[in-house]
Structure 1
Amino acid sequence: MVIQPNFQIFAFESTGEDVLFALDRIAQRVRAEQAVEYHLTHESVYAAQRRGMEMTDILGFLDRVSSVPIPQNVRRTLEEWGSQLERIVVRRNICLLQGIDEQTLDALYADPELSRLLGRRIVPTAALIPANQLQSVYRRLMNWSGTSGWMLPAVSEGDDGMDSRVMTVHADGHIAFQQRLPSIYVRAALRPFTDEEGDRSLRLTPGSLQRVANSRNGKGRPYSADQILDRLRRMSVAPLPEEITMVVRRWAKDWGLGALAEVTLLRVENEEAMKYLQADDELGPFLQAIPDAPMLAAIRSEQAEKVRGILLERGMDLGDQIIGPSKQ
């Protein structure tokens, strides 16, 4: 069997059926004549990986059955394709061990009995645990004494973030957890409307509340003040401080859009006069009606002098004070 730099594979007559079967799993068959021709593609390799083949298995197989070394460009490309598959991995129903800090997890991996029970370390403070080893890890931790002393593990068996009284909310917005390492579900329940500080603690701030209240920013789900307060009360071990209730109600509100502009107001003595001015071809375009104020019109500041000149030419007596309604 020969692998070409253009990703073609030629399997000659002496190639065994087991090799052809494996090639059918990782490459696209092009034709079968005197030699069976295959083509390695991103899609064919991805499909093989989806069926459970690791890139090390694919490269090992090609190294073993090829009569010539795998071309370097083919090897590099296959390795790159393999790494792309693992950039985002979704794992369901996994068991995860979290440590309060990196040193704590280092100590657990240094324990001979625990280290053989733990799976891959995915971040400095967390490791996977094979499901069939979960109870063994738990029992070992219950009886474990390392450099940090005894460790009593907290076990979370699902989304308990909304049904646990696990924290205290202080008047300044700081959230103090009952445990040194709160459940990932607890943090997830609070993260939408809190800010994370340098020490990874959480705090309610005007900015975090405004961020989540604005339903038009397209960044996540909006929360109302009542929804936020309900979640905080359900998770708090003590009543919320009155200051927190006030802050949430003040800032976790979508006030909508507004505008603030400098204008000049024109007020006339009666509605008929305003209707006449607004219908005038020369003046009308400059007069912006004000709802529920039929004798008032707004004029953009840069157009005020032009309107003043036209009105004076028309004989209107203009003052500098807004006049009240005329008395009959």
Structure 2
Amino acid sequence: MKLRECLANSTLVELKAIAERRGVRLRPNPLKAEVVDALTTELGTPASVARALADLSAEERQALETILAEGGRIPSYKLEREFGGVRKPDIYAYRDESARQPWRHIATPTEGLWYRGLIFRTFDVVGNWRGDVYLVPDNLRPLLPKVEKKPPQFSLEAVPAPSNLLDGGDLRRDIFALLAYLQRREVEPVRGDRLPKQDVVRLSEELTIRQDLSDVRNEEEAGRLAFVRRLADRAGLVQVLAGRLCPSSKTGDWLKMPRHKQIRELWQSYFQDEQWDELLRLPSLQVDRRIGYFRRPTATRQKIVEHFKQCPLGQWLTIESFVQSIKRLDPDFLRTPQDYNLWYMYDASGRTLQGYKSWDRVEGEFIRSIIRGPLHWLGLVALDDNRIGGVPTTCRLTAWGEWLLGFSSHPPAEPAHQPIVIQANFEVAVPYEAELLHVFQLERLAELVQRDRMSLYRLSKDSIRRNLEAGGKIADIIAFLEKASGQPLPQNVAYSLREWGGRYGEIEVRQAALLTVADAVLLQELRANKRVGLQVRDELSPQAVTVDEGEVAGLIERLRKAGYLPRVGDELAAAAGSKGRKGSSRRKVTMDESDLVPLLAAARVIRSMGAEVGLGQPLEVSSALLDRLESQLSYAALQTMQRLARQAEEAIAEALEEAEEEDEDEDEEEYFSYPPRPSVRFDTRSTRSVLEEALQRQVAVDIEYYTESRGEMTRRRVDPYRLEQRSGTTYLVGYCHWRQAERVFRLDHIRSAELTNEAIQQHT
């Protein structure tokens, strides 16, 4: 854009201000065209440009060089962040001396350049930016000094290695501790599959980094423990089974993995997790997600990791120099220029944190929290323990970090597994480097005394009994203990284990149904009658036997069909379908496991979603009832039931969301909410140009769309059909791939629009 065009796009008041600053004489009350001609002639001469340059302050010259280094065009937000904005003059500035006349009292370097006519502001495209830009007119650039763009420098402050390092713990062992805890205790989840608070507090005492969690309200507020649980869930290691949280069938395979594979899997799981949002977990920050909040955590992590790759290997650096380097080179890694005023965030005192001025409180704290949190916990960075103000101030990449980020082709050497030590007093010492799978199996056989660098367990009669009740065998227990310890058991321990195993089952306690007859001959007759099919479990006397409870209903029915008239006790009346004491006819309903699975799945859905849809009585399903019924299912049937319930919950949730959402066709209607949401409007100029190009090329577009009634930003692919004007507002009419239907979108609710290579399809 040349100087004349830039001047022609300015107002008459602005042109007069430029003329005054540059000393160009004008006649009283000139026409705009006359002023444009005069300024074009005067400002475009080498002598005039030289005088203007000589008049610049050091800051103004630096601002001009910044624009020239970018090729003469720079997004407005970039220049204004460093050199300030421009105050426009009042339209009556030359009629009223009290009106605002900023050109006479320059406040910022940008303002100094603008009122000298060296730069102008217009709408343009610079790289990925579509919006307001500052530019130097094309025919002025040859008259200005040539400035070469310097490659960005990632400037970091190196420091000596600290004397003490902060312990980041061991996430592998913490996940093991979680799985062992769930195996050892019966934990009934809350809110679907979350740990109750009392279990959060107890579990925190067994982790490698112990926290005081007495003040937290739930698992989500548990900091590092919540991160451990998230990684375990992402690996599929925890499940809800028969109403309790327990390790999944994947646990054994995961515990057998080599250490480097476990660490790599944990890193990749975190790195690719779109649901773990570090920004929402900053204790110093509150984010109102109802208003314009929309971000992709994985993309943000990718940017921070790319910056970490520029750090010198093996060198300790200050965290603050790393933060400030990102601020200088990539300030918009978290919030886009539009997001600075769209996202609503507050500090601990409730003050709003908006605009670029809040960068250190938002982006800066975000970077620090990732370094001191997940990157440290995962072992990628080491931190100093010489804490100033309660937090580490220096860091460096570890050997694990160098391997995970691709600087090294081989992982660090892994220490060899150490055997457990079984002592004659029945205590089992477990070293820190013991094989995790062996320790997990030991948890089923022994009682945990303490968990530490050298953990301690104790073999007892009760702990062995529990394993035998679960189907274990003494021979297998002894074989495992000798394999894990690498040597034969102490003689007294082996002897006691065999003795306990031999005594197990000498006394049997079980439920059974009692059948008695008037004389022994009748009992012999019943046992010989094939139509009755009496299956005796135990013979107590010539006139009394026991039968399995599951056989009672069928036996009574067969006795009646054979012509006998048995008297059924009240406790078995339901099974027999006879009259109870109150005369009510009760009949026990029996069903196959395949019939019970979908019914239990439906009951689980009602239990978990009843409150959300307002069911309550009489459809309230107790957790105790579900647990009793689920205990009758096989493991495979339980898995099937859980899958059916999960699919049903997802389908119902999606249907509820569809029902609650307003059609975008009604987006222009008024909606009310408390607290009231601010009206959000985006600049439509860049959006319109993209949509017009898409209509011309007949290709789909990807848009970020703000739904005001929900304060929610969504990303959609749309096949544009046309642009319409309704009551002074422009709308896009098109086919929404997300909704699978034609929709209408307000143009000023579209934050961004990007062309795709996908041709518009015909939709029915």
User: Which bin holds the TM-score, normalised by the shorter protein?
Assistant: 0.3 to 0.5
Q: What TM-score results when the alignment is normalised by the length of structure 2?
A: 0.21
